[in-house]
Structure 1
Amino acid sequence: MSKIQDQLEIRFRLPDGSDIGPNKYTAATTVSTLKESILAGWPKELENSPKTINDLKLINAGKILENNETLAECRSAICDLSGVTTMHVVVKPPSVERGNEKSDAKKGNGGACGCVIL
């Protein structure tokens, strides 16, 4: 592969529909490095901002990317096309304190589940 092909242009689509990037990354870049880049570029005005890379999930072509994978390892046919690849960012919701769960149940929310499936 030539050095030009080793460069991937990636845009990160945030939950509110805004984007970070596009920026260029080498094929040897790990997913955890991408997540660090997202944390550094996260807009300050957005609610529910992530605190660590573990609060983020990256999705490309319907696949959740693992932190230890490189871009070369998780590259799909979609990434091989010229142009910008968009990866979707999912933020883990803030954890609920145990004391609050019981008080919410007493308020009568109908026993509805408060779970979020990612």
Structure 2
Amino acid sequence: MVPTLNPGDQLVVQYGASVRPGDVVVLRHPFRQDLLIVKRAVERRDGGWWVTGDNPLVENDSREFGAVPDELVVARAWMRLRPLPQAGQRSAGALLSWAASAVRPVRSSGLLGLPLSRRLRAR
């Protein structure tokens, strides 16, 4: 899920929440249901949700296993928490940078359904 999520990031999730296109979801892998994975819900299809990762080079998503049935979708993520910088990197600048970006919503769309970066550039 890079660039939205990085290794070590934690998610705040809501179990049983309704899923909309653009949401980041936690789901059971269709081929290994003991494995939880995080993907972005793209659209509803006949078999369930079509999900993809945010990194187009990684194909461990619906391009590999097809639509994911609703019963395999465990939760909807709504916030990402970055871990604190390591002890050697805790300068004032590093801590300020961390504080500015430690908590972020993971939804891709802002108001009017536009991506947040596009909405900000349009102003």
Q: Same fold (TM over 0.5)?
A: no
Considering only CA atoms, is the larger Rg found in Structure 1 or Structure 2? 1
TM-score in terms of structure 2 length? 0.25
Bigger strand share: 2
Q: TM-score, normalized by length of structure 1?
A: 0.25
